[in-house]
């Protein structure tokens, strides 16, 4: 999703200019079955791609996989052939994908009339028009390496039975981060494949690509994003990642021994829902343990309309954890876009290093700016300062401005192409909001963003002398005293689809992250940028998500049988609480900063099964057809299956309490059940922390586990009258269960939803 700030919009728009060097590779047998004829033959100009969920075909049960898939494909073709398609149309020509492995349905090109006729047929559960998702990167990057935290490149831990499926823009497999030295062959449960003309190894054990059913596309990454996220999640420690000669660093991940399976669904222009669903269909059947998807729709979609949520629901049924990014539409409230409770949604936080760039004026005055300026030829050399007022093409086109640094004014009154083609040594801008300076972005030329006030000082200097000069210095890293703090671009809660489920769930580093990069991708994402490298620094919730993916994989390596909910619970209840001054508090950072070291030993977990999520959807108001679309069962029925009556009854590890307004009394109860995953005879006591106006009681307040008594239930009652506190959008409380050894912490966030929806 593109951000809402002008800067992020500008940067996201650049993706349209990516040079896309397509490599011609072929999908190996065993992938999602594809009707390749559909690629060339659409259903006329007014047709669109629709995803159709169908009833499961019992006739295919028990058949060998290829026969079962053929039987299902034939069922799909029959559905279309019988009085649905316009005359002279052939069903196989219209089908883009048959979802046959983990899901039940197909994607096809249909006209609106055909869609209506299909909707009335028996066996069709629901029909969804194709939607376009975007990667959650902000495209800020750099050549700088960050100091190494720990040298673990010689250790190869034991997590090599864990497989992470990366649903992203592919991977560049020949990089050091993906070396397989010392790794045994893939675990026996692995059923995936490697595309033809793509070299897998014991690190990258599978790779597939999906583009509207085209069978000849390659999973190779020429964009950089997928290589970056894959190496962040499970890359080998790669020493010497320093670039630009500025700072040495080691690119590393949480689980260097884990395996990667690549599912390429993102192409320069977009990531399409029918491709994403095909990737989930395969990843689930291939045997991955964790799915990582750093992408999302531009606003939160209802669960049944969000194909990532539908795919993740089917993953959850098989015990697979789905890790997603919260989105880059912050700091607006209610901007978080990946909100299904059967996913882990991650916010982006800044760590303790910040990248800055300095300007030195001819007067000797130094001004701190935000930018990534490195490996450009004339850095550190004084240039003439020129006031062009704006840097729109009409102001600077056709001018040769080599030797000059341009005063461009407000960001947005700028054209990258015009500045680049003028040959200027650099450009100075100020953003609409000072907080946009908190993330260092990079551009195909030295562009420095300064505070509006400082821009005024530069203009004063410019007016004070006939020969104004300015020098753009190379970027440096400085200490970020505010760390960890949530990035302004990181999407905020509340969750628009279900106010009573706290999203994002958790935070992880997502600002200026160093990781591997596709050597074919321009460093600033602009076609005119001919800088290439094997590492890059990028920002976004896209970069935060694979940190949590890695932590989830680490938990799975210790507890292979844990459900999605148990892993989510372990991550949430062990997160390090944050108090970083964000007015949105838990709606900015969720439970806090992910703590991968503590997560495998949480003490207690809040577990949930498919039936619990079905009850949740019923409480959400799902009718039988929406429930059928989500579960894939035509007999799904809330009157027989729902257990609880409120969305807050879901056994979630955090508690969100939407209240009508400040000054209005409220009272709500949250039943919860914890499973003891620590020592058998533990006794846990509840410790509540709260603020004035919010009363929290826990009944019972002591849980004594004994052998054979692993699950115990309690109720959290939250009541009171919310008092406005300056500069905040809600009130933060918490419940911590402690046995003296474990601290099982659930955030409780009370907020007035009236003001934010």
Is 25 a binding residue for ligand NAG by CB under 6 A? The answer is: yes
Asked if residue 123 lies in contact with residue 54, where contact means CB atoms within 8 angstroms, the answer is yes
Closest separation between CB of residue 319 and ligand NAG, Å? 28
DSSP state string for 62-115: TS-HHHHHHHHHHHHHHHHHTTTSPTT--HHHHEEEEE-SSS-EEEEEE-HHHH
Closest separation between CB of residue 707 and ligand NAG, Å? 25
Closest separation between CB of residue 217 and ligand NAG, Å? 5
Is 640 a binding residue for ligand NAG by CB under 6 A? The answer is: yes
Closest separation between CB of residue 738 and ligand NAG, Å? 6
- C-alpha 248: how far from its chain's center? 28
Is 481 a binding residue for ligand NAG by CB under 6 A? The answer is: no
Q: Using CB under 6 A, pick the residue from 40, 61, 122, 188 that binds ligand NAG.
A: 40
Is 197 a binding residue for ligand NAG by CB under 6 A? The answer is: yes
Is 156 a binding residue for ligand NAG by CB under 6 A? The answer is: no
Q: Using CB under 6 A, pick the residue from 459, 469, 558, 668 that binds ligand NAG.
A: 459
Q: How distant, in Å, are the alpha carbons of 10, 208, 435, 738 from that of 529?
A: 16, 29, 26, 54
Q: Which is nearer to ligand NAG, 463 or 707 (CB)?
A: 463
Closest separation between CB of residue 721 and ligand NAG, Å? 7
Residues contacting residue 726 through CB under 8 Å, at least 6 positions apart: none
Is 88 a binding residue for ligand NAG by CB under 6 A? The answer is: no
Binding mask 574-603 for ligand NAG (x = CB under 6 A): ------------------------------
Q: How distant, in Å, are the alpha carbons of 572, 691, 694, 718 from that of 688?
A: 17, 10, 11, 11
Is 699 a binding residue for ligand NAG by CB under 6 A? The answer is: no
Q: Which is nearer to ligand NAG, 378 or 669 (CB)?
A: 669
Sign of torsion over alpha carbons 442, 480, 1, 593 = positive
Is 743 a binding residue for ligand NAG by CB under 6 A? The answer is: no
Is 217 a binding residue for ligand NAG by CB under 6 A? The answer is: yes
Binding mask 340-379 for ligand NAG (x = CB under 6 A): ----------------------------------------
Binding mask 418-437 for ligand NAG (x = CB under 6 A): --------------------
Q: Which stretch binds ligand NAG (CB under 6 A): 61-69, 168-176, 202-210, 624-632?
A: 624-632
Q: Which stretch binds ligand NAG (CB under 6 A): 173-181, 211-219, 378-386, 554-562?
A: 211-219
Q: How many whole angstroms separate alpha carbon 523 and alpha carbon 551?
A: 28
Q: What stretch of H or E contains 406?
A: strand 404-410
Q: How many whole angstroms separate alpha carbon 304 and alpha carbon 306?
A: 6
Q: How distant, in Å, are the alpha carbons of 582, 688, 692 from that of 723?
A: 18, 19, 7
Q: Could you list the active site residues?
A: 168, 225, 542
Closest separation between CB of residue 21 and ligand NAG, Å? 9
Closest separation between CB of residue 433 and ligand NAG, Å? 17
Q: What stretch of H or E contains 716?
A: strand 711-721
Q: Is 449 helix (H, G, I), strand (E, B) or coil?
A: strand
Closest separation between CB of residue 628 and ligand NAG, Å? 9
Q: Which is nearer to ligand NAG, 39 or 413 (CB)?
A: 39
Q: Using CB under 6 A, pick the residue from 81, 151, 706, 715 that binds ligand NAG.
A: 151
Is 625 a binding residue for ligand NAG by CB under 6 A? The answer is: yes
3-state SS string for 336-358: CCCCCCCCEEEEEEECCEEEEEE
Q: How distant, in Å, are the alpha carbons of 364, 439, 441, 442 from that of 355?
A: 22, 8, 9, 11
Q: How many whole angstroms separate alpha carbon 81 and alpha carbon 334?
A: 44
DSSP state string for 563-632: -HHHHHHHHHHHSBP-----TTTHHHHTT-B--TTTTT--SEE----HHHHHHHHHHTT--HHHHHHHHS
Closest separation between CB of residue 302 and ligand NAG, Å? 9
Tokens representing residue 643 in the block: 């257990």
Q: Which is nearer to ligand NAG, 446 or 747 (CB)?
A: 747
Closest separation between CB of residue 287 and ligand NAG, Å? 26
Is 720 a binding residue for ligand NAG by CB under 6 A? The answer is: yes
Is 726 a binding residue for ligand NAG by CB under 6 A? The answer is: yes
Q: Using CB under 6 A, pick the residue from 239, 413, 417, 646 that binds ligand NAG.
A: 239
Residues contacting residue 204 through CB under 8 Å, at least 6 positions apart: 171, 173, 178, 180, 230, 259, 260, 261, 262
Is 23 a binding residue for ligand NAG by CB under 6 A? The answer is: yes
Q: Using CB under 6 A, pick the residue from 90, 216, 363, 576 that binds ligand NAG.
A: 216
Q: Using CB under 6 A, pick the residue from 148, 439, 490, 574 that binds ligand NAG.
A: 148
Residues in the chain, total = 757
Asked if residue 311 lies in contact with residue 301, where contact means CB atoms within 8 angstroms, the answer is no
Is 41 a binding residue for ligand NAG by CB under 6 A? The answer is: no
Which one, of 71, 43, 73, lies nearest residue 58 by Cα?
A: 71
How many Cβ atoms sit within 10 Å of the Cβ of residue 634? Answer: 20
**Sites of contact with ligand NAG (CB under 6 A):** 22-25, 39-40, 148, 151, 153-154, 197, 214, 216-217, 220, 239, 250, 387, 459-460, 463, 623-626, 637, 639-640, 687, 689, 695, 719-720, 726, 738
């Amino acid at each position: 999703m593109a951000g809402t700030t002008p800067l992020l919009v500008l940067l996201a728009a650049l993706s349209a200019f990516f040079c896309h060097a397509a490599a011609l590779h072929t999908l190996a047998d065993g992938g999602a079955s594809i009707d390749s004829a559909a690629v060339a033959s659409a259903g006329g100009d007014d047709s669109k791609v629709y995803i159709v969920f169908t009833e499961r075909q019992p006739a295919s049960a028990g058949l060998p996989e290829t026969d079962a898939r053929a039987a299902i494909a034939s069922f799909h073709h029959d559905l279309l052939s019988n009085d649905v398609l316009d005359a002279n149309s052939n069903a196989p020509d219209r089908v883009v994908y048959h979802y046959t492995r983990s899901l039940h349905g197909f994607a096809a090109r249909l006209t609106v009339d055909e869609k209506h006729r299909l909707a009335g047929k028996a066996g069709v559960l629901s029909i969804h028009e194709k939607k376009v998702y975007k990667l959650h990167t902000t495209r800020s990057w750099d050549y700088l390496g960050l100091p190494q935290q720990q040298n673990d490149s010689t250790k190869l831990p034991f997590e090599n039975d864990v497989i992470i499926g990366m649903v992203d823009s592919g991977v560049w497999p020949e990089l050091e981060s993906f070396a397989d030295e010392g790794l045994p062959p893939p675990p026996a449960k692995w059923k995936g494949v490697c595309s033809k003309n793509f070299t897998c190894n014991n690190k990258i054990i599978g790779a597939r690509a999906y583009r509207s059913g085209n069978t000849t596309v390659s999973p190779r990454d020429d964009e950089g994003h997928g290589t970056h996220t894959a190496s962040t999640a499970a890359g080998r420690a790669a020493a010497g990642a320093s670039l630009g000669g500025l700072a040495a660093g080691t690119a590393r991940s949480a689980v260097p021994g884990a395996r990667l399976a690549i599912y390429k669904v993102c192409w320069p222009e977009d990531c399409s829902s029918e491709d994403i669903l095909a990737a989930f269909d395969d990843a689930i059947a291939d045997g991955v343990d964790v799915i990582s998807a750093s992408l999302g729709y531009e606003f939160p979609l209802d669960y049944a309309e969000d194909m990532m949520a539908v795919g993740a629901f089917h993953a959850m049924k098989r015990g697979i954890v789905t890790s997603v990014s919260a989105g880059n539409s912050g700091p607006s409230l209610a901007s978080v876009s990946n909100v299904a409770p059967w996913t882990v949604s991650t916010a982006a936080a800044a760590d303790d290093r910040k990248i800055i760039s300095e300007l030195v004026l001819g007067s000797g005055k130094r001004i701190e700016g935000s930018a990534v300026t490195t490996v450009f030829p004339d850095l550190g050399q004084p240039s003439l300062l020129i006031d062009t007022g704006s840097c729109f093409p009409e102001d600077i086109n056709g001018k040769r401005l080599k030797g000059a640094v341009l005063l461009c004014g407000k960001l947005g009154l700028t054209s990258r192409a015009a500045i680049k083609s003028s040959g200027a040594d650099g450009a100075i801008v100020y953003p609409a909001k000072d907080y946009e300076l908190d993330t260092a972005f990079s551009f195909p030329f030295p562009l420095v963003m300064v505070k509006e006030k400082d821009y005024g000082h530069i203009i004063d200097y410019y007016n004070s002398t006939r020969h104004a000069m300015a020098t753009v210095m190379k970027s440096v890293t400085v200490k970020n005293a505010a760390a960890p703090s949530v990035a302004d671009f990181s999407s905020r809660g509340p969750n628009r689809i279900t106010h009573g489920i706290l999203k994002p769930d958790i935070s992880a580093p997502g600002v200026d992250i160093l990781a591997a990069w596709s050597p074919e991708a321009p460093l600033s994402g602009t076609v005119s940028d001919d800088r290439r490298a094997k590492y890059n620094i990028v920002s976004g919730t896209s970069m935060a998500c694979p940190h949590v993916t890695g932590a989830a994989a680490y938990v799975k390596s210790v507890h292979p049988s844990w459900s999605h909910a148990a892993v989510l619970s372990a991550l949430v209840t062990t997160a390090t609480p944050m108090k970083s001054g964000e007015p949105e508090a838990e709606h900015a950072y969720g439970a806090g900063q992910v703590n991968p070291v503590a997560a495998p030993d949480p003490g207690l977990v809040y577990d949930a099964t498919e039936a619990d999520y079905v009850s949740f959807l019923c409480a959400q108001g799902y009718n039988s057809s929406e429930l059928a679309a989500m579960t894939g069962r035509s007999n799904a029925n809330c009157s027989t299956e729902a257990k609880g009556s409120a969305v807050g009854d879901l056994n979630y590890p955090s508690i969100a309490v939407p209240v009508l307004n400040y000054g209005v009394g409220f009272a709500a109860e949250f039943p919860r059940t914890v499973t003891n995953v620590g020592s058998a005879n533990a006794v846990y006591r509840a410790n509540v922390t709260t603020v004035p106006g919010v009363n929290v009681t826990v009944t019972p307040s002591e849980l004594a586990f004994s052998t054979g008594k692993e699950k115990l239930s309690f109720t959290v009652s939250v009541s009171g009258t919310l008092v406005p506190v300056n500069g905040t959008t809600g009130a933060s409380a918490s419940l911590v269960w402690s046995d003296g050894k474990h601290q099982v912490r659930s955030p409780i966030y009370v907020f007035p939803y009236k003001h934010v929806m």
